Structure 1
Amino acid sequence: MTTPLWTLEEIAAATGGRIGAGARPASGASIDTRTLEPGDLYFAIRGDVHDGHDFVPAALEKGAAAAVVAEEKASAFADSDRLVAVPDVLEAMRRLGRAARARAHAKVVAITGSVGKTGTKEALRLALARQGATHASVASYNNHWGVPLTLARMPRESAFGVFEIGMNHGGEILPLTAMVRPHVAVVTTVEPVHIEFFRSIWGIADAKGEIFSGLEPGGTAVLNRDNPYFERLRAHALASPAGRILTFGEGEGADIRAERIVTKPDLSVVEARVFGQPLTYRIGTPGRHIALNSLSVLAAAHAVGADLALTALSFSELRPPVGRGERTVLALEDGEALLIDESYNANPASMRAALANLGAAELPRHGRRIAVLGDMKELGEEGPALHAGLAEAVEANRVDRIYAAGPLMGHLVDRLPRAKVALHAPTSAELAEAVCADLRPGDAVMVKGSLSMKMALVVKALKERYGAGRTGQALKG
């Protein structure tokens, strides 16, 4: 008989909840009835928009092992005996997450950074999964509910755990890293992301440096040696329980250093020196930023005792997640076009990286590079200048046409030649039809913007009009 993820005794001990007679041991944990699987323990979290208690009947109907509800609302479900009544549902999930961490024998890695968190987490998940049972965050579950939910889902037999930790404000990482208690903590980079909520980028560096406070005694801090805020982060690491600091980058002095990076339309090749030893490997997705972050993966893998040769080999199987560089061939009437979906989110650093990937696409002689760009949010008073500053990247990467959505993108539009701007509209929805109508065989179109700009609407329109064909390589003439 398979051991459940959580027995009723363990649930009661961790949450302090009052368990109904019909509750069953749990095989998983969920906060969303749309993705809930039979046997999941459903947490009725109260969010900004919805109260999870409204979906308790649906969760039970779908086969939840039990629903964790607030004691004050338990009477509303008096006809069900599959409840776990607690004073605070979110705190109960946190407590279950802490219990999962306390019983775990896994080597745990926590990853943060202004950009590259999810991609680095996925690369490390891929590498470690070939060397032992690996549990990792789903999608970008990196906030005050995503981290404890990921912990609560961690099987007791996991050999490795990989957790993504995010923040918008200072102080948000502290409680999350305290829950995760990583053996290794990685900061990919520090950039002006969420700068609206900080006095300066130094404050962002300090907020990212909070991740080291949760390190297990003697743990490892992994830092980007090339980042301008390296010394600031290093000071945080030195003040933490870390036993050592590993560095990565291109500059002299990095423990894991890229000596040469070759970016191609559909892959990257890295020639590195790892603790003085040469190592060359291929990454199955393009992008200089991805190649640089792969160095941090090597550092983290080394720190948890994984085989570095196997780790490097795994990179060839890496594919970009949906909304973060996924490539799709679109079938037009007289040929094909390439869609590069970067629609999940955006900030100045990731926008420049996406434009660089578009610039690297190899196209037929008549093909055009089209960028569909939405506002980058949470940049505060620096927003207009940071948008206008993208003009250099647009020109450097030979972008032929720009479709722009949102008032901030107006500052970029004003910096570009009029002939290069196809359309500037208030919303992404107003761009979709025009982009679809403009696309020609041989074109490459890249879509990117902050999540609230809903740039995925343009991606959806393109796929519906021209088909979501196979994941494609860049078109070649």
Structure 2
Amino acid sequence: MQPLWTFPELSAVLGVEPEGGVDRPVTGISIDTRTLQAGDLFVALKDQRDGHDFVSIAFKADAAAALVSEGYQRQPGDGTLFRVPDTLKALEALGRAARDRIGPDASVVAVTGSAGKTGTKEMLRACLAQLGATHASEKSYNNHWGVPLTLAQMPRETRFAVFEIGMNHAGEIRPLTKMVRPHAAIVTTVEAVHLEHFPSVEAIADAKGEIFEGLVPDGTAIIKYDNAHVGRLKSIAERFGAKPVTFGFGAGADVRGDDLKLDHDGSELIVRFGERSTPLRIAMPGRHIAENALAVATAIDAIDADVEKALPVLAGLQPPGGRGARSVLHLEGGDALLIDESYNANPASMRAALATLASVPRQKFPRRIAVLGDMLELGADAPELHAGLKDAVEDAGIDLIFACGPHMKGLYDALPKSKRGGYAQTSSSLQPLLLSELHGGDAIMVKASNGTRLGALVEALKSKFGN
């Protein structure tokens, strides 16, 4: 394989000459010295911390070069430096250049939505990897630095690329999708999230619709049919010359799911593309996962890739950590099931997770326990949206709720005392309450926004009972 970047290529894109060091191939790009690999270009971003404080550490880890601001003071042991006025803008330039250099036969898909972005991206990654060299966002690298970083890391041999694009405010998706220039763009769904920063859900739909502005000419806008804002999103897509294609279980969807069979260990359905159809088995449980798989199928078809060859991989694909990953806990009295949904949460995804917990068979795991933390960025509607989960808890037949955070206390107080397992303001305070209650035969689902830090509770459970 060719190097990711050569020094002459970096100089041409950045408009500066390398300073010091020796010429060597760049094999990757890093913004974090904790994960930097030998041969990486280290980019010193100024974000939560100033990356310039770690340049020398990067060279000690055998970085090939560092991208730094013009005012950076070279330190003993530093290697090759590329000095630029603004390191983020330089990273964006590298991203655009990487997008320009992939072959004309390459296909790019972008994904956004109020829920399901990362899961959909990972399904697309797995499916397209069956067809050719595939590049995709790592983790949830979907923001103002994550998208250009993912672009800049894209090998020139890429045949398929998948980019997750997120936002908290209006206007954030627009510049990112214009860098990515996708052939197909997915909006998984539009729901009441980020209401702290938006006047209405309609405004959220408009912000999500920005992803269609970056589509290449005659690109495809992929929109959930079973959503109140489908018409609004189709109008946005058409305004920018895109072809809208809908997916879902409704009879009017362009790509429709039929004969859906949901089970605790996955689902089966028929995917219909007009007159064509193909069976689909998905290892990850939940109706919401099946809906996202329909979006995946729609995108693969939209870029004229082989759907029948790509989709079967979903029969074995497991959910990632924080987004539905399952593990067994060895507790007193037998094994328990832990479902880790701790990375993100909003009202729609919380209801979907509770419904998925309800599918766990009571014959094997008789008791259902939900550990729920605050859903963040909901603004003035937060108290109502948290307390409003009561019906979803009841519908799912949850036996005990453990709640964490000031907003989730509204739900906890609304529940009958028989369902109140314990409440605490913080994850660390909730942990002993939960540990004292668990025993063999429990199915435990943990879900919250990442800022609630329930991921630490999941790791504690796995560390104590996972081996």
Give TM-score scaled by structure 1 length: 0.95
Letter in 2 for 1:378: E
User: 1:78 deviation in Å?
Assistant: 6.0
User: 1:311 deviation in Å?
Assistant: 2.3
Which residue of structure 2 lines up, in the alignment, with residue 304 of structure 1? 303
Shift in CA distance, 414/157, structure 1 to aligned 2, threshold 3 Å = same
Equivalent residues in 2 for 1:270-289 (5 A)?
Answer: 270-289=269-288
Coordinate RMSD, CA, aligned: 1.3
- CA distance, structure 2, for counterparts of residue 38 and residue 97 of structure 1: 21
Letter in 1 for 2:46: R
Does the CA contact (< 8 Å) of 1:301 and 1:307 recur in 2?
yes
Does the CA contact (< 8 Å) of 1:260 and 1:272 recur in 2?
no
User: 1:280 deviation in Å?
Assistant: 1.8
Per the alignment, in what secondary structure is the counterpart of residue 54 of structure 2? helix
Per the alignment, in what secondary structure is the counterpart of residue 320 of structure 1? coil
CA-to-aligned-CA distance 1:427-466 (integer Å, 9 cap, x gap) = 1111112212211111000001111100012101111110
How many residue pairs get matched?
Answer: 464
Equivalent residues in 2 for 1:253-264 (5 A)?
Answer: 253-264=252-263
- CA distance, structure 1, for counterparts of residue 261 and residue 268 of structure 2: 5
- Whether 1:22 aligns to 2:17 is no
Which residue of structure 2 lines up, in the alignment, with residue 91 of structure 1? 89
- Whether 1:340 aligns to 2:339 is yes
Letter in 2 for 1:126: A
- CA distance, structure 2, for counterparts of residue 21 and residue 3 of structure 1: 23
- Whether 1:251 aligns to 2:253 is no
- CA distance, structure 2, for counterparts of residue 153 and residue 366 of structure 1: 44
Equivalent residues in 2 for 1:137-216 (5 A)?
Answer: 137-216=137-216
Structure 1: any 5+ residue segments left out of the alignment? 469-477
User: 1:266 deviation in Å?
Assistant: 1.3
Per the alignment, in what secondary structure is the counterpart of residue 297 of structure 1? helix
User: 1:365 deviation in Å?
Assistant: 7.0
Does the CA contact (< 8 Å) of 2:365 and 2:443 recur in 1?
no
Equivalent residues in 2 for 1:401-440 (5 A)?
Answer: 401-440=400-439
Letter in 2 for 1:132: G
Report percent identity of matched pairs: 54
Which residue of structure 2 lines up, in the alignment, with residue 441 of structure 1? 440
- CA distance, structure 1, for counterparts of residue 463 and residue 129 of structure 2: 34
- CA distance, structure 2, for counterparts of residue 366 and residue 211 of structure 1: 42
- CA distance, structure 2, for counterparts of residue 79 and residue 444 of structure 1: 53
Give TM-score scaled by structure 2 length: 0.97
- CA distance, structure 2, for counterparts of residue 284 and residue 364 of structure 1: 20
Letter in 2 for 1:153: Q
- CA distance, structure 2, for counterparts of residue 409 and residue 162 of structure 1: 35
User: 1:20 deviation in Å?
Assistant: 1.8
CA-to-aligned-CA distance 1:61-96 (integer Å, 9 cap, x gap) = 1111101111111x2436524211111111110000
Which residue of structure 2 lines up, in the alignment, with residue 472 of structure 1? none
Equivalent residues in 2 for 1:61-76 (5 A)?
Answer: 61-73=60-72, 75-76=73-74
- CA distance, structure 1, for counterparts of residue 75 and residue 365 of structure 2: 64
- CA distance, structure 1, for counterparts of residue 121 and residue 311 of structure 2: 15
User: 1:305 deviation in Å?
Assistant: 1.6
- CA distance, structure 2, for counterparts of residue 65 and residue 366 of structure 1: 52
Which residue of structure 2 lines up, in the alignment, with residue 350 of structure 1? 349
User: 1:289 deviation in Å?
Assistant: 0.2
Which residue of structure 1 lines up, in the alignment, with residue 130 of structure 2? 130
- CA distance, structure 2, for counterparts of residue 40 and residue 76 of structure 1: 18
- CA distance, structure 2, for counterparts of residue 366 and residue 63 of structure 1: 50
Letter in 1 for 2:397: R
- Whether 1:453 aligns to 2:452 is yes
- CA distance, structure 1, for counterparts of residue 406 and residue 163 of structure 2: 35
Does the CA contact (< 8 Å) of 1:29 and 1:153 recur in 2?
yes
Letter in 2 for 1:447: V
Per the alignment, in what secondary structure is the counterpart of residue 370 of structure 1? strand
Does the CA contact (< 8 Å) of 2:64 and 2:79 recur in 1?
no
Does the CA contact (< 8 Å) of 2:428 and 2:457 recur in 1?
yes
User: 1:272 deviation in Å?
Assistant: 2.8
Shift in CA distance, 78/20, structure 1 to aligned 2, threshold 3 Å = farther
Choose from 89, 95, 100 the match for 1:102.
Answer: 100
- CA distance, structure 1, for counterparts of residue 81 and residue 364 of structure 2: 64
CA-to-aligned-CA distance 1:165-198 (integer Å, 9 cap, x gap) = 0000000000000100001111110001101100
CA-to-aligned-CA distance 1:196-220 (integer Å, 9 cap, x gap) = 1001001000000000000001111
